[in-house]
């Protein structure tokens, strides 16, 4: 039996153990506040959709560290599309309190679902990278981490999913849905206790129940938390699609959600994509344009 098969056999027990041990990041962050004079120590950085973009991820992690933020969570799609899946999963594994399973993480561990050819080829190439690491303990650690990702996380502050509260792995919540799919949004908000953090579309912003959508620019990069329900998309670290190529993430403060954008050396990532035959050149080109 190979490592992945062994892992699949033990998956449910690993997942149960993982869920039982998963830390409530907000409570943990609050506890950490007492021994730090930094005003950000009780904040939580929320990252998503890294897509194996090491240059973007390291830029974001360095910025989070500089701000004195101690807790990070990830909303999935750590891998898929990009050229550095092993380095990115190792960094997320070491730095994040928990990671939600995205559709690309699912695709590499289980199978691609509803993928176009470029995405499917990238998924199979990524799986091959996981399998070809000769270091067996390291290889198994990555498979175990990937297979034990939760599909949702709920605490007393927020719900976190990759896609939507209805279909956590695969459903997209698009800004245009406020005009064209209001019933869909009603069904989504019915499942939102107060705040819900999502990724998946790679477009940051805030949905409210009216329904309406506010981009970070509409909000001057800061959404003030009130009693209203909100679905907050933190955008994408490694493949933004809002015509802004800078890496995107969000910070949950006590009273607000702050949206952050950071420039990184995108040309390095684009060159890496070009040098790997299995990765379509478009996957690099789109990073330059943020689409
Ligand atoms: Fe994604």
Concatenated DSSP letters of 157-202: S-EEESS-SSSTTT----TTHHHH-HHHHHHHHTT-SSEEEE-SS-
Please determine, for residue 7, whether its predicted confidence score (pLDDT) is greater than 80: no
Averaged pLDDT of the chain: 90
Q: How confident is the model at residue 199 (pLDDT cuts 50, 70, 90)?
A: very high
Q: What is the pLDDT of residues 12-60, one digit of tens each?
A: 333 333 333 344 444 444 434 333 445 788 999 999 999 999 999 999 9
- Domains of the chain, residue spans: 26-289
Question: What radius of gyration, in Å, describes the C-alpha atoms of the chain?
Answer: 18
Counting Cβ atoms within 10 Å, is residue 12 exposed (0-12), middle (13-18) or buried (19+)? exposed
**Whole-prediction pTM:** 0.89
Percent of the chain exceeding pLDDT 90 equals 86
> Cα(140) to centroid of ligand 1, in Å?
24
Q: Which residues have CB under 8 Å from 244's CB, separation 6+?
A: 261, 290
Please determine, for residue 259, whether its predicted confidence score (pLDDT) is greater than 60: yes
> Cα(37) to centroid of ligand 1, in Å?
36
> Cα(110) to centroid of ligand 1, in Å?
16
Question: In the predicted model, what is the mean pLDDT of residues 187-215?
Answer: 98
Residue 207 to residue 230: CA distance in whole angstroms: 6
> Cα(57) to centroid of ligand 1, in Å?
14
What is the topology classification, in CATH, of domain 26-289? Purple Acid Phosphatase; chain A, domain 2 (3.60.21)
CB 126 within 8 A of CB 279: no
Residue 49 to residue 266: CA distance in whole angstroms: 16
CB 254 within 8 A of CB 265: no
Coil, helix or strand at residue 15: helix
């Amino acid at each position: 039996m190979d490592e992945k098969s062994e892992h699949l056999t033990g998956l449910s027990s690993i997942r149960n153990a993982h869920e039982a041990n998963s830390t409530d990041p907000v409570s943990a962050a609050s506890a950490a506040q007492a021994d730090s004079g930094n005003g950000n120590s009780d904040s939580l950085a929320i990252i998503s959709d890294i897509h194996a973009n090491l240059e973007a991820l390291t830029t974001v992690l360095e910025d989070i560290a500089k701000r004195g933020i101690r807790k990070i969570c990830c909303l999935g799609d750590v891998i898929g599309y990009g050229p550095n899946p092993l380095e990115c999963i190792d960094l997320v594994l070491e730095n994040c309190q928990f990671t939600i399973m995205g559709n690309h993480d699912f695709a590499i561990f289980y199978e691609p679902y509803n993928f176009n050819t470029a995405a499917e080829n990238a998924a199979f190439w990524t799986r091959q990278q996981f399998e070809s690491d000769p270091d067996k303990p390291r290889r198994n650690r990555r498979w175990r981490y990937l297979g034990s990702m939760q599909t949702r996380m709920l605490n007393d502050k927020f719900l976190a999913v990759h896609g939507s509260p209805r279909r956590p792995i695969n459903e997209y919540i698009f800004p245009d849905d406020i005009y064209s799919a209001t019933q869909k949004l009603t069904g989504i908000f019915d499942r939102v206790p107060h705040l819900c953090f999502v990724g998946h579309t790679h477009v940051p912003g805030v949905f409210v129940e009216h329904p309406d959508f506010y981009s970070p620019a509409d909000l001057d990069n800061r959404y003030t938390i009130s009693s209203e329900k909100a679905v907050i998309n933190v955008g994408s670290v490694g493949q933004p699609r809002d015509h802004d190529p800078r890496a995107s993430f969000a910070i949950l403060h006590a009273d607000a959600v702050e949206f952050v954008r950071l420039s990184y050396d995108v040309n390095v990532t684009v060159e890496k994509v070009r040098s790997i035959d299995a990765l379509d050149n478009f996957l690099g080109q789109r990073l330059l344009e943020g689409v």
